[in-house]
Structure 1
C-alpha cells in the first residue's frame, strides 16, 4: 500500500472519530438538559402553609388538582393537569370536563383516593375542602395546601390569591407569567376601588338555595367585596358559616339595599342555568330600592360559589360587583 493511501485512511479515521465524539457529546448534552428540565432544581423549593411545609426538589410533571381554584391557577399558568376533581367545573374551565387526558379524581369535598394513588402524581394541590385528607395525600406525593378562609375573607383575600399564584409560578418556572397575571388583577382591583370609593349605595349579598335565602356581610365568605372592593353593606349581619346566615324576604325588605347581589347556589348544585328574576320576585322584594331601580344582579354563580379565590374568578366577581353601580334603570322585573 502506498504512503498516499495510508495517509488518506488515517485522515478519514481521525475525521470519523472526531465526528462520532462530537455527536456523542451533543447527545449527552441534550440528555442532560432534558433531565435537568424534567427533574432537577438548582435548589429545593419550600412553601409554608397552615398544614406544614411542602418541599420540592424536582420540577413537577404530573399534577393533581383537587379544587377548582387550583385548576384555574394551573390554567392561568398554562401548566398541564394530569388529574382533577370533575363534579363541579365552572363554565370558564369547561374544556377540562371531557378531556380524556385529564383523569377524573372524583368530588371536591370527597376526592377518590384510589384514583389519586393510581395517578402517581408528583404534586397534589388541595384546599380546606380536602383538609381531612392531607396526611394521606402527603404520603402519596408532595402536597401543597392553599390557605383560603372560606368563613371570613376579610383583609388579605387578594394578597393570598396573588401569593399562591407566585408560589405556583416559582414551582413551575412560570414566574414571569404569574407576575403578568397579578399585574392585570391589581389593575382591575385598583380601578374598581377608585370607582366605588365615593359611592353612597349600600348593597346586600345573598345566596339563593331552593327558594330560601342567606346573607353575607362584612365578615363572611364574601367579606373581600366589602373590605377590599369598598362596597358599603346594607346590613351588619355577620356569619362565619360558608353558607351565610339564613334570612327571610322580610329581612331583605327591611335592609332595603340599593343593590342586591344574588348567588344562585341551586343552579350550581343542580347543574342548571341561574335563576331568573321572576322566579324569586315577591311583593316584599319588589318594595326594595334595588328591585325598583333594576339593580338586582344575578351574579356568575360558578365564579362566586365554586371558586372566588382564583385569578379568573376574581376578575368575574369584580365585573359583577361593578354592574350594580351602573346607571340605574326602572325595573323591568
Structure 2
C-alpha cells in the first residue's frame, strides 16, 4: 500500500513540476526581449529600413510616390543638377555611371575610368546604363521620354526645377529629397546656408529696375520670360522683366526677338546667356560680338554698361537646379551687378 502511495505522490509531483515548468517557460517567453513576436517586429523594422519612399516625377511629368533602395551603393546619373547635388553631399563614390558634361566642377566623373559613360543628358545609352547595374537612376527633363525604358533597369528618380516654386526652393527641395535617400538630411541643410542672404541682397538691388532676359543662339537673341530658364532673375531676384510680353511660353529656348524690340522696350538691364558657348557649338560667334551692334547700343542698358553677360552659360543652360550651379549663378549676377551679400 505504501509502495502504491509513493508512486502516486511521485506522479503528482512530476505533473506539478511539469506544469510549473510550462508556466515558467510561458512567462519567460512573454518577458524575454528575444521573443518570436519581438524578433518578427525587429525583422520588420529592418526590412522597412531597406527602402525609402520619395516624391518624384514620372515620364508624363506628374508627381508620383516612388520607392527606391535606401542608401543605394550603385548610382547612375543622367542629369547634371542631380550629379551636382550628389557631389555636394559627398556621394560621388556611389556614382558608377554618368552622362557626359563640360562642366568643370563635375569633370572628375567624366575622366574617371571607373565611371561608365552613359551618353548625354538628352540621349541615354541604355545598354551602358544596364551594364553598370545601378540600384537607382537619376534623370532630368530632357530624358522624360526615356523614363519607362530606364525604369525597366532600376527605379528612376526624376527631379526638376519648378519655376513656380523658384530655383532656390527647388534646389532646397531636391537636395532634401536626394539626401533622404542616403540618410544625409543634416548635411543637406548645411549646404543651403547663405543662399537666402545672397538672394535678398540681389533683390534689394533689383527693386524698381527693368530688364530683358534672353539667350543668344545661332546669331539671334531669344527673349526669356519668367517661366523657365533664367527665371530666377525675374521671379526671385525681382527685376521687372519687360520682355515677358514677347510671347506666352518661353521656357525652352525663348522666343526670337528683333534687336528693334530691345530698343523699343529700352530696359535698364539686359541679361545675356550664350547658348552656343554653353553647348560648344562649333564656329558660333560669341554672344558679346552679336550683342555689340548699333541697335543694342542705343538702349540705356548698353549706354550705362548694364548688358550683363552671364559668365557661366553651361551652368545656366545644363545644370540649373544643382547646389554648386546655384552658387555659380548667383556669383554671375553678383559680379555682373557689383552686388555683395
> After TM superposition, is the score higher than 0.5?
yes
Q: Which residue matches 1:65?
A: 77
Match in the other structure for 1:209: 217
In the alignment, what sits opposite 1:36?
Answer: none
Cα RMSD for the two superposed structures: 2.3
Residue 18 of structure 2: aligned partner: none
Shift of 1:241: 4.0
TM-score by length of 1: 0.78
SS at match of 1:283: coil
Distance 1:235 1:210 in 2: 20
Q: Deviations over 1:119-166 (max 9, x none)?
A: 1000101122111111121121121111334xxx23443222211101
What's the CA shift string for 1:264-296, capped at 9, x where partnerless?
Answer: 111122267992634431110111111111111
The 3-state SS of whatever aligns with 2:49 is strand
1:42 aligned to which of 46, 49, 60: 49
Q: Give the TM-score taking structure 2 as reference length.
A: 0.76
Say which SS state the counterpart of residue 238 (structure 2) adopts: coil
Q: Which of residues 220, 229, 234 is equivalent to 1:226?
A: 234
The equivalent residue for 1:275 is 286
In structure 1, stretches of 5+ residues that fail to align are: 1-38, 328-333
| Distance change (3 Å), C-alpha of 1:83 and 1:240 | same
Q: 1:321: how far off?
A: 2.5
Tell me the residue number matched to 1:107.
120
Deviations 1:296-318 (A, max 9, x none): 11111012111111111122222
**Post-superposition offset of 1:95:** 2.7
- How far off is 1:324 after superposition? 4.3
Q: For residues 277 and 135 of structure 1, do their structure 2 counterparts lie closer, same or farther at Cα, with a shift above 3 Å needed? A: closer
Secondary structure in structure 2 of the residue aligned to 1:214: strand
1:134 aligns with 2:147: yes
Establish whether residue 74 from structure 1 lines up as the match of residue 47 from structure 2: no
Which residue of 1 is the match for residue 197 of structure 2? 187
Partner of 2:304: 293
Task: Detail structure 1 runs of 4+ shifted over 6 Å in the superposition.
Answer: none
Query: Where does residue 31 of structure 1 map in the other structure?
Result: none
Q: CA deviation at 1:176?
A: 1.6
Shift of 1:70: 1.1
Q: Is the 8 A contact 1:128 1:148 kept in 2?
A: no
**Aligned equivalent of 2:32:** none
1:29 matched residue in structure 2: none
**Of 265-274 and 126-135, the range deviating more from structure 2:** 265-274
C-alpha displacement of 1:73? 0.8
Q: Per-residue deviation at 1:47?
A: 0.7
* Aligned residue among 302, 307, 310 for 2:322: 310
Matched position secondary structure for 2:244: coil
Of 48-57 and 160-169, deviating more is 48-57
Measured after TM superposition, the shift of residue 41 of structure 1 is: 6.3
- Mapped partners of 2:67, 2:137: distance in 1: 12
Give the CA deviation at 1:169: 1.0
Distance 1:308 1:173, change over 3 A: same
Distance 1:325 1:57 in 2: 44
Relative to structure 1, is the Cα distance of residues 147 and 280 closer, same or farther in structure 2, using a 3 angstrom cutoff? Answer: closer
Larger radius of gyration: 2
- Deviation (angstroms), 1:259: 1.2
1:96-175 correspondence to structure 2 within 5 Å: 96-149=109-162, 153-175=163-185
SS of residue in 2 equivalent to 1:297:
strand
